[in-house]
Structure 1
Amino acid sequence: MKIQNKIPKNDEHLHLNLIDNDWIPMKEPESVWTAIVLSIPFMLLNAIISIGIINVFSTISLSEFGLSSDSVSITINVGVIIWIFSLIILHELLHLLFIPNFIKSQKTFIGLTLFGGYVLTEEEISKSRYIVVTIAPFVIISIILPIVLSLIGILTPTIKILILLNAMASSVDILNVVLLVTQVPGKTILTNNGTKTYWKKTA
């Protein structure tokens, strides 16, 4: 595992080598901004799912977030910034934990950029594991966590906000899963060349 603040760039020589070895590149957004725009519908869907889960096991209202029909009260302090920063780290660590042998891997990268945190691996992993790696932060933080915390009575408004922020921030992850499921057949392995994803059928 390597820690660095720059996302690894696509290597043209590696691209040609992968193509020569029967790897097929996925059709993906050309830039981070394009991915963000395309993921907006999933941002709304993720938020609705998390709100629904919170509402089943606890309560959720606009007033908890400092909003009402006649006023808006939003307080941003150092504590809130620390919570958000911690959420970003937790989100990326959950991606990382599901990558096989990530500690020993020299092809797995983690870091922070202007767009937030990232985890990227150029190791070869199965399609099913790739999906697990991609959706783990959304499922654990925005679906399982509110259920657990509500059952033990510590699902506070601050945690609810963080859960919803994570749900919306996971929209690009869900977009990636949709692209993967619609393009890549079963019994395949995947790898990355920088941010570009490739797949190949297993024997």
Structure 2
Amino acid sequence: MAANADDKLVIMNEEELKRKQKEKLKKLQATGGNPRPARTLFLFGLKNPFRKACTSIVEWKTFEIIILLTIFANCIALAVFLPMPEEDSNNTNINLESLEYIFLIIFTLECFLKIVAYGLVFHEGAYLRNCWNILDFVIVFMGLFTFALDTINKIAGVRPIPVPPPPAATAGRPDPAARRKRRPVPLIPSVQEAQSKV
């Protein structure tokens, strides 16, 4: 009798194991063979059409190539940019600054699509569990933060604080305002004569 109970227990465990394997296989088939978390951002389930679209875009090989080309173009733009003192600029720098906003939009979109597709941090394989994605997230966050600060400053009418030149740059040269005070102002001859007669 005890042997029969053990046989039933073993059979039940095998049946339960087969049932679990079938459930796991269904999950893998539902996600295209890639194990994905049941929900991302506590909103998007596996069958959510928006999440499916994000996953298919992110896993599309052409999307990856586009992102790599965008990174390459951004590196070239940073190399070409010529920093100038006193907020001076030229046409090339102005165009490159406009291009930076386009790069920021592309990288923000990539970040958002990956977070919706894979989850943010709580799941295995989530976006912030990859070191490259952490670097990407920090760069995008800093870019958005800088853009927000610039926008707030423009709305408030705040101008950036001018940075004085370092002391080494002005060493040995007198202050232009002090030079103007010491320099005598030339007078018109008729005024000099009128002053001497008085």
- Same fold, TM-score > 0.5, yes or no: no
Whichever of the two has the greater Rg, that structure is: 2
Q: Which has the higher helix share?
A: 2
Q: Which has the higher contact order (CA 8 A, sep 6+)?
A: 1
Bigger strand share: 1
Q: TM-score, normalised by structure 2?
A: 0.27
